[in-house]
Chain A
Amino acid sequence: MTHDRPIRILYMEDDHALARLVRVCLAKVGYEVEVAEDGERGLVMHSQSDYDLLLVDQSMPGMNGLDVIRTLAAKGPLPPTIIVTGTGDEQIAVEAMKLGVSDYLIKDVAGGYRDVLPLAIDRALKQQRLAEEKQQAEETLRASEIRFRSHFDQALVGMAIVSEDHRWVEVNDTLCKLFGYKREELLGQPWDTVTDVDDRDSDSEEFKRMILGETDGYTAERRFVRKNGRSMYAFISARCFRHQDGTVDHVFVMISDITQRKQAEQALRRRTRQLDSRVRELNCLHAISEMLADPDVTVPKIARATLDLIPPVWCYSDITCARIVLDNEQFQTPNFEETPWKQSAPIVVQDHQAGVLEVCYLEERPARDEGPFTKEERRLINDIADHLGRLIERNRSAAQIRGLKQQIEFVLGATKTGLRIIDSDWAVRYTDPQTRETYGDPTGKTCFEYFEGTESPSSKSPEFEALASKKPVVSMSTLPKEDHRPIQITTIPFQEDSGQWMLAEVVVDLSERKRMEKELAQAQKMEAIGQLAAGIAHEINTPIQYIGDNMRFLQEAFSDIHHVMQQCDSLVNTARGAPAVAELARAMNAEKEEADMEYLVTEIPRAIDQSLEGVERVANIVRAMKEFSHPGGGQKQPIELNRAIENTLMVSRNEWKYVADLETDFDESLPLVPALLNGLNQVILNLIMNAAQAIGELIENGTTEKGTITVSTRRDGDWAEIRIQDTGPGVPDEIEDKVFDPFFTTKEVGKGTGQGLSIVHNIIVEDHGGTVSLDSELDQGAAFIVRLPLADTSPSDEPAPRPVVLTS
């Protein structure tokens, strides 16, 4: 009952003045009072309007107070009513009370009626409110009881009253239907009859706690077993009701079947889990696959990265550890421990098991498809192992290819062999590193642009020919950008997997071969010359022998003749006085005059002397030539260096005598030097000729008329040193490093092969283990210094191992 509106009071009173007073008084405390002057009027007003309280005077004309109350009580429950009398009358009071009035007041106006009345009204209203509430509560309870009963009986949920000892006391129909038992089969039976074995312990425990008062009740999802043996998921809600003293009255339990929901939930959870695990699997596999993109990835890197990816994907990530065992290596997560809860998958590389991937749970977990693992996890471990195998395979083959490429490029570099791959559009797809270094990046260039700087392919080019004929073509060429280095190109057409025709060109450097061919030709020429020289020497030596013999004979004979003639002269001079001889003497003197005898006597011995000198010189030349061209054989022998040089100087005299004077400064104490005579002669000859040609350049351009070549020998510790100094133009600094390179020449085409100094270098350094160096100042001439070891330390005896470094 609200107090939003004022409490309305109907006052039945025939005393107007009093009624007005009461009305004012009650208005002061918040009551709205309407007055009816008699009972009849009062009843009419009461029926016409709704009043909160009736205040009725007993003594009224017509119907008195009791009459009014009786009338009202006959119609129904009496509204809150207070009866007021002028005089106390117990009978009226008793009757009024019996009729249900709230209060009985004596109208003692002076004596406090005015103060008592509001309290009485208030009390009456409260009583009325309480009565109404009680009635309402009773009605509610009644309705509720009715509802409950019908609910209990017809509810869609199972309901039961369960005893303190966990037995069925009361069950509704639904519960019976849920379990498939008849009511009488359940009542008095223990609860556990229908509980799933697995849930019994936990259920009875919670029930016990509730009975002991630790909880008021509980809710739970439990599995039950129906009479037909089928499992049922149920949601149970149990509440314990107790007596005032705390003892248990009963336990009310509601049971609803959630099997469908549970199944749906499980299905959903399974789906979600499947999806989730699939997503994680895919992420994991993707991450593993991505490692392939990294060109620097290594097997340990792959293994470690994979191990990092595994635990998050497994169901119990916190207790998941993994290990990868490969041929000789082993990788594992830091927490790895081999446990009985293990899953493993073989890692297969190139059709062979190269290792195994293992995943372990560090603690026991409920059994699933494979121990504690799900079939998804089985699939995943297989997939990961499979991926790993392929990754390792690709990594290994990539590493092999890289290593192979390195090895090939090393070999190409070491053998000065070029390799080019050209496609059918003439685009250069690959070149060896040396070529890239010389020609730059071939990307986007045709082989013609790249190597020759020409725009269009020539139909005569080997590339064109090879592609047209589909057969290998071998061609000789030179490299215009590399000093016209001679090369041999083998152009091999081949078909790619795609069917596109490609060309592989193997470029072999012929410089060395050409050089060797020239050296060989040179050596053969020298050998032939040597044989010729030996033969010629023999031929020449024979006439020299008898020319010499005859000259000496003439010399002696003339001396004898001269003596004879002097005697003749004396005889003539003595005998000319005699007439018999006078004529003869005169004639002889005339003959002597005629023959210029005096001159002959002086000049004939001179002529003979000079002829002998010439014969001597011819003999020396022939001997030098013989020695120079002497086939020394392949073995080193002790050589008189000074003598070898003298021979060479004599043989090569014609090469230098018109351009230079030759000075020698030999160390006569020089010991024998182990050397290959032929080679050494060749070295000295080449250096002398080089010096003569250098000076010749200056004479040609008019700078000088004649130069000087100074050849000196000396001993320097364990070395013999030959220095050949010229007064030529000297060697510019920028080519000083190149002078020993094969084919390097500063001479006009046709004048020099560029081989001379290269041969010198080879013979001295490679055959003798010596050194040859150039000491030159521009405009100061050049000096070549050859140093030969006095001890035979032929490098050919024990070739020094060449360092071969392969990086992989």
Chain B
Amino acid sequence: MDHTSGPIVLFVDDDENILRGLTRVLRNQPYRLFTARSGEEAMRVLMTQRVSVIIADEQMPGMSGTDLLAWVSENCPETIRMVLTGHASTSTAIRAINEGSVFRFFTKPCNEVDLALAIREALDNKKKAEDSATPTSP
């Protein structure tokens, strides 16, 4: 397993158990899993790493998931944004989609397979978009 290269997937959740559990089930996936315990920490990661996919919880102390994704949308538009929340409400979803233009919206608990597939899809889309944007690269 290559943990030093490959695309980075960033999980943001204030519950560490969630982050560890997700890291465990997704440890074999072809990307590097980064975690952040808050929006602010996530922003620091985003500012130092090229993150391909960010998956954020909605309700967190400090910056909310939606605000974070809105910031990501603004500052790292190439990062694909997803939501995994335990408090799904229509208004949350609408805000996430409108303000953060998220790619997927998951509610807890969600099966890791669904999540893994969605991440794959996001990465593939992103790769296709980058390939078409730079046709000269081999």
Contacts and interface: CB of A to CB of B under 8 A. Distances in A.
Interface of A: 534, 537-539, 541-550, 552-553, 556, 615, 619
Contact of A543 (B17, B27, B110): B17
Interface in B62-91: 84, 86-87
A615 B109 CA distance: 9
A541 B25 contact: no
Contacts of A537: 86-87
B109 A553 contact: no
Contact of B109 (A534, A548, A556): A548
A534 B109 CA distance: 14
Given A543-B17, A544-B109, A549 B87 contact: no
B86 A542 contact: yes
A542 B21 contact: no
Contacts of A550: 20-21, 24-25
B108 interface: yes
B97 to A, nearest CB: 19
Interface in B5-30: 15, 17-18, 20-22, 24-25, 27
B25 A545 contact: no
B108 A549 contact: no
Given A534-B87, A550-B21, A545 B109 contact: yes
Nearest to B87: A538
A614 B111 CA distance: 14
A619 B107 CA distance: 11
Given A534-B87, A546-B15, A541 B108 contact: yes
A543 B17 CA distance: 8
A549 B15 CA distance: 13
Nearest to A539: B86
B24 A545 contact: no
B59 interface: yes
Chain B's interface size range is 10 to 19
B86 A549 contact: no
A549 B18 CA distance: 8
Contacts of A546: 15, 17-18, 20-22
Q: Which 8 A-B pairs have the closest CB atoms?
A: A549-B21, A546-B21, A541-B86, A553-B24, A541-B108, A544-B109, A546-B17, A538-B87
Contacts of B107: 541
Nearest to B16: A546
A73 B25 CA distance: 201
B59 A549 contact: no
Contacts of B15: 542, 546
B68 to A, nearest CB: 18
A550 B109 CA distance: 12
B112 A538 contact: no
B106 to A, nearest CB: 10
A542 B16 CA distance: 10
A543 B109 CA distance: 8
Nearest to A554: B24
A457 B59 CA distance: 66
A127 to B, nearest CB: 164
Contacts of B22: 546, 549
Contacts of A543: 17
Nearest to B18: A546
Contacts of B24: 549-550, 553
Nearest to A557: B24
B21 A541 contact: no
A537 B86 CA distance: 7
Q: Which of A543, A546, A550, A553 counts the most B-chain CB atoms under 10 A from its CB?
A: A546
Contacts of B109: 541, 544-545, 548, 615, 619
A246 B20 CA distance: 168
A542 to B, nearest CB: 5
B69 to A, nearest CB: 19
22 contacts: A534-B87, A538-B59, A538-B86, A538-B108, A539-B86, A541-B107, A543-B17, A545-B109, A546-B17, A546-B18, A546-B20, A546-B21, A546-B22, A548-B21, A548-B109, A548-B112, A549-B21, A550-B21, A550-B25, A552-B112, A553-B21, A553-B24
A615 B87 CA distance: 18
B59 A545 contact: no
B87 A545 contact: no
Given A546-B18, A550-B24, A619-B109, 10 more contacts: A539-B86, A543-B17, A545-B108, A545-B109, A546-B15, A546-B17, A546-B20, A548-B21, A549-B21, A553-B25
Contacts, number: 58
Contacts of B110: 545
A interface: dominant SS = helix
Contacts of A547: 21
A542 B25 contact: no
A547 B111 CA distance: 11
B118 to A, nearest CB: 15
Contacts of B27: 553
A92 to B, nearest CB: 183
Contacts of A556: 25
A374 to B, nearest CB: 97
Q: Which of A545, A547, A548, A619 counts the most B-chain CB atoms under 10 A from its CB?
A: A545
Contacts of B25: 549-550, 552-553, 556
Interface in B40-69: 59
A485 B102 CA distance: 59
Contacts of B17: 542-543, 546
Contact of A542 (B18, B20, B112): B18
A539 to B, nearest CB: 8
A548 B21 CA distance: 8
A142 B59 CA distance: 162
A185 to B, nearest CB: 135
A534 B112 CA distance: 23
B88 to A, nearest CB: 8
Q: Which of B15, B59, B107 counts the most A-chain CB atoms under 10 A from its CB?
A: B107
Q: Which of B15, B86, B111 counts the most A-chain CB atoms under 10 A from its CB?
A: B86
A553 B107 CA distance: 20
A556 B18 CA distance: 18
Contacts of B87: 534, 537-538, 541
A538 B109 CA distance: 9
A548 B109 CA distance: 8
Q: Which of A537, A542, A549 counts the most B-chain CB atoms under 10 A from its CB?
A: A549
A534 B107 CA distance: 13
B108 to A, nearest CB: 4
Contacts of A619: 109
A615 B108 CA distance: 12
Contacts of B20: 546, 550
A534 B86 CA distance: 10
A541 B86 CA distance: 6
Nearest to B26: A549
Contacts of B112: 548-549, 552
A553 B123 CA distance: 23
Interface in B103-138: 107-112
Contacts of B18: 542, 545-546, 549
Nearest to B86: A541
A547 B59 CA distance: 19
A632 to B, nearest CB: 11
B111 to A, nearest CB: 8
A124 B113 CA distance: 187
Nearest to B107: A541
A418 B95 CA distance: 56
Nearest to A622: B109
A546 B21 CA distance: 5
Contacts of B108: 538, 541-542, 544-545
B113 to A, nearest CB: 9
B33 to A, nearest CB: 12
Contacts of B86: 537-539, 541-542, 545
A723 to B, nearest CB: 32
A547 B18 CA distance: 9
Nearest to A544: B109
Contacts of A552: 25, 112
